[in-house]
Each structure stands twice: as structure tokens, then as C-alpha cells.
Structure 1
Amino acid sequence: MKAVCIGDSLTHGYGVPASCCWVNLLQENSQLKIVNKGLNGDYTASLLCRSYRDVISLHPNYTVIMAGTNDFLMGSSVYNVFDNLSLLCKDVIENSIVPIIMNPPYIDEDMAKERWADEIDYVEVNRKTELLGQRLKEFSYEKSISFIDLYKIFKNISTEARDYYIDGIHLNKRGHLIIYNELMKQKVFEENKKK
């Protein structure tokens, strides 16, 4: 059994040792062969463009999809991001691959202004990410796809943000552990085994 994880720096594991990235934690603690196709700075349109090379041609059983933060940081609309992600899901389903969708985590606005860039409207980025999560949840329900709303999970721990973030956007070891634990808790790989 194989799973490809496709996304941006939050999938690649920016800022943490490779062994601490949620993708590597899955590899070490499951029977799946895991392939990390996260690229730092990537956008959902790029994921769609590279889906054949980085997902479909590898013939995985599953693909975990998480992206959108960079799109919103650059001002993209919720509609465009959702459209790209839903098209990617349809592509993998048509190729007999089980998609698992994760909405990107909440951004800690104060920490991001201090440690990333102070000119970005992180309130607006978070608003768009929350709306994306609502649309992805509805889409996932309609298509019987597993969905994990990391935005809500990380928003609920935002008072302790410095314990989970490097810079308000990227996650530290503890943040990656939360994603790994959520994937394991929801048993998305066991429940979605291809027939």
C-alpha cells in the first residue's frame, strides 16, 4: 500500500528535521509506503499541474492533499483555490486513488506579523482558509472523501501558538505531531481501503 502526500511547505516539512515532519511520522508508524511531494512555496494551481507526475504516475492507493495557504497569502480567492483542489480530487478518483483532504492550519496572526511578514492581512487569510474548509467539508461529504479541518484544530490551540508554530504559519515538531495524530485518530487509511 502506498500514499502520496502532496502540498506545500506544510507538507514538505519546512523548518523541522525531516524525521519530525508529519509525513515522515506516517512512514515510520504505518504499514504504508509514504511519498512526500510537498514543495515549499507551492500553490494549488501548481499541484493540479503536477498531479500526473507526482501522484497519478506513482499509482498510490491514497493521496493526502493539503494546500491553499500560499494562494491566500498572495490574494487568491476561495473560489479559485477550492476549484483547483476539487479538480485535483476528481483527477485522483478517476485514477482509482483514494483522496484525503486536509484544510490548512490556522495562522497565528501576531506571531506571523512578528516572524514572517508584517504587511500581510492574516485576518483575511484566516477568513479565506475558514471558508475553504467549509466548502471542502461539503465537497468531501458529497463525494464520501475523508476530510480533516486543521484550521479548526489549530485555531482551538491558538492561545498556545508559540508551542506549535515556528513563525505563525509553519509548524514546529509539536505542530507536525498534531497532524500525524489526527490522521491516525481518524483512521483515514483503514476506512478508505480500495476494494
Structure 2
Amino acid sequence: MPDRRAIAALLAVSLAVPVTCAAAPPAQDPLLSLPVERVVPDQIRQMQQRLADWPQLQRYRSENAALPAAVAGQPRVVFFGDSITEGWGPTGSDTFFAGKGYVNRGISGQTTAQMLVRFRQDVIALKPAVVVILAGTNDIAGNTGVATQGMIEDNLHSMVEVAKANGIAVVLASVLPVSAYPWRPGIAPAGKVRALNTALRSYASEQHLVWLDYYSAMANAQGGLDASLATDGVHPTAAGYARMAPLAEAAIAQALAQHKDGT
């Protein structure tokens, strides 16, 4: 029988593991709701696997290795983010990514700290002309622990600096509006999202990045998302992505023009 103290320690550590920010997220991780005596070896192995690959580098490792070279005349663009990016759909599907040089590298639930760790593998190594970075909402939700605005900005600044050092043009996207997180009751994120977006917009201007303003086009009076755009208040519906798509396309076109000019 597994040692109860070891199980309890694993459960305590797993509190720092990111909560999956899925289309219909549970109120809490079911592993954390079980009494210690009901945790079985398979569940312990699941927690150990999650802790062993905190940034989830395995998620796209094989897909990265199999990714063909960019097609001539179709510059590669990597969309890098969390579940909101992942929700666009897989590369080569009949979604927004179909028939384009776009590569989806979003992972549900991730924070900017995790994304920074995998930035070289999932962005730099793919040699894109442009990266579209959308991140920060899961930091505000506290998915991997408390994160101040300064911490979020630092992680995003580091991604931008690494991209620019490798000749990749950056589209920096605003955090989408949100007034409540279903998986983190009690958090009032609307003001934090507005403050972060204000800082990121200023940074984008200073660094001559393309600013992709999803927020202004989607926010309601409460600083959140209407149900038509996101049924759970966080993850875009088809209508939400339809509103985002032309904004993303325009930002990418601007970034590609800058990349071509070397600016």
C-alpha cells in the first residue's frame, strides 16, 4: 500500500500544477478532492508525470520534429499561447489555420512562466517569420501560483527579446476580457486584465511591436465577454473566434511587412 505521507506530499505539491483551462473546466482538480486514503497508484503516477514535465515540452515535441519546411511564398506564423490559442484548432484542419502557413502551439491552462520555458522549442526552433503571443489570463487566475503584473510582464518581455534576437517579428496580443474564472471562484480579474493590457500596449509601442487589440473589440460593460462570444466567460465560441480572426490577419500582415523590411 502506498505510504500515506508520500501521497499527502504529492497532493500538496500538485496544488502548484496548472489547472487545465479547458472549454468546460471543472470546479477543481478531481485528484485534489479525493481523501488521501482513496488516492491510488495510477493517480500518483499521473501527478508525477505532470510534475516531471511542468512546461509540457512533450506536448508538441513529435509534431515539431515532423513539421515540414515552410512553403515558399507562405511565411510561417506561430500562434503561441494557452487554451484560447489552442482553441483556434490544429494546423492543417478545416479551421482558421487551414491552407495557411500558421502553426498552433497553444497549451490549455498554461501561464507565461511555462510558456517562456518552452519558447525556444515551440517557437524559435520552428523558424517562423512571425510569432503571435497571447498569454497572461492564466497567470491572473493563479494557475501556477500567485503572479504579479510585474512577473507576467517580465515573462512576456523575455519572450519578445528572444524572438527579436532570432529575427522573428512579434505580434503581441491583448489579454481577452474576463470578469470571472469558472475554475477560480472569487477572483475579480477585469481590472487586472485592463491594467496588464495598458502596460503591454505601451511596451509594444516602445519596442515597435505589432499590437493586436482583441480586448477593445470584445469587452462588454463589465470588462468580460458576452455569452455569445464565450459561453463560460473565458473561452471564445465560434462567433468569438470569428470576431478575432480578421484582427489577427491584419496584425500578421503588418508584422510580415515589417519582417520583410527588416524593421
Settle same-fold status: TM greater than 0.5.
yes
Structure 1 counterpart of 2:127, from 59, 65, 72: 59
- Matched residue of 2:131: which SS? strand
- Structure 2: tracts of 5 or more residues without a match: 1-74
Change (3 A) 1:165 1:141: same
Kindly indicate whether structure 1 or structure 2 has the higher relative contact order, using CA contacts under 8 Å at least 6 residues apart: 1
What is the root-mean-square deviation in Å for CA atoms of aligned residues?
Answer: 2.3
Q: 1:11 aligns with which of 85, 97, 102?
A: 85
In terms of fraction of residues, the more strand-rich structure is 1
* TM-score normalised according to structure 2 size: 0.62
**1:42/1:117 CA distance change after superposition, 3 Å:** closer
1:119 aligns with 2:190: no
Question: In structure 2, what is the equivalent of residue 102 of structure 1?
Answer: 173
Q: Deviation per CA, 1:113-153: give whole Å up to 9, x if none.
A: xxx246231x3x22111111111111111111001222232
- The TM-score, its normalising length taken from structure 1, stands at 0.83
Q: Tell me how far apart the structure 2 counterparts of residues 86 and 94 of structure 1 sit (CA, whole Å).
A: 12
**Quick check: 2:85–2:104 contact (8 Å CA) kept in 1?**
yes
Structure 1 129/118 Cα, relative in aligned 2: closer, same or farther at 3 Å? closer
Residue number among 30, 41, 48 corresponding to 2:109 in the alignment: 41
* Cross-structure match for 2:204: 140
Give the letter aligned to residue 69 of structure 1.
T
- Specify whether residues 157 and 193 from structure 1 end up closer, same or farther in structure 2 by C-alpha distance, changes over 3 A only: farther
Once the two structures are TM-superposed, the CA of residue 177 in structure 1 deviates from its matched residue by 1.2
Would the alpha carbon gap of residues 136 and 120 (structure 1) be closer, same or farther in structure 2, given more than 3 Å must change? same
Gaps of 5+ in 1: none
Q: Which deviates further from its counterpart, 153-162 or 55-64? A: 153-162
- State which structure, 1 or 2, has the greater radius of gyration over its C-alpha atoms: 2
- Number of the residue aligned with 1:166: 231
Q: Cα 1:160–1:10, aligned 2, differ >3 Å: closer, same or farther? A: closer
**2:11 — aligned with what?**
none
User: Share of identical aligned residues, percent?
Assistant: 24
CA separation of 1:118 and 1:189: change in aligned 2, threshold 3 A: closer
User: Which residue of 2 is the match for residue 28 of structure 1?
Assistant: 98
CA spacing shift, 1:160–1:91, aligned 2, 3 Å: closer
Tell me: CA distance 1:98–1:171, structure 2 relative to 1, closer, same or farther (3 Å).
Answer: same
Native 8 Å contact 1:129 1:151 kept in 2: no
| Counterpart residue identity of residue 28, structure 1 | A
Is contact 2:177-2:190 (8 Å) kept? yes
2:153 to 77, 82, 86: 82
CA gap 1:164/1:38 in 2 versus in 1, 3 angstroms: same
Contact 2:178 2:193 in 1 (8 A): no
